[in-house]
Amino acid sequence: MTTVDFAPLTVAVPLHEEPPGVFRVGKSRVLLELVIRAFQRGATPEAIVQSYSTLKLPDVYSVVSYYLANPAPIEAYLRHCDEAAAETRRKIEDSQPPRANLRDTIMARARAKGLLHDQVGG
């Protein structure tokens, strides 16, 4: 039997931070959270690269491998992204006018402009 003595292998995780606090994969502008979320939904690295043409397959494999070997920091980053998105969503929703009777208002405007006619039996 032949044995092979491998030297310890260190592989850099191809991530860059741009802007501060936002991680992107490889030399692309594809967000880390998009790659990891796709992987979590069952996409293979090959499928992820097909979805984002600027990604390189070795970069996606490296990121996914790092995530599998050390999920805690990536999960913390994803939670932070989710919280930031929820805060942005809340700010946008709070800045919008009340939505009560929105459909009725839009339909009335469309009728007034002659864009919509009442349907018979509907």
* 102/42: higher pLDDT: 42
Q: What would the DSSP string read from start to end of 69-81?
A: H-HHHHHHHHHHH
State CA 116 to chain mean position distance: 38
Q: What is the pTM of this model?
A: 0.71
Q: What is the mean pLDDT of residues 88-102?
A: 85
| Average pLDDT over all residues of the chain | 89
Residue 120 scores a pLDDT above 70: no
* 5/34: higher pLDDT: 34
The CATH architecture of the domain made up of 15-112 is Orthogonal Bundle (1.10)
- Half-sphere exposure in the Cβ direction for 47 (13 Å, CA): 10
Domain boundaries, the chain: 15-112
State the pLDDT at residue 122: 45
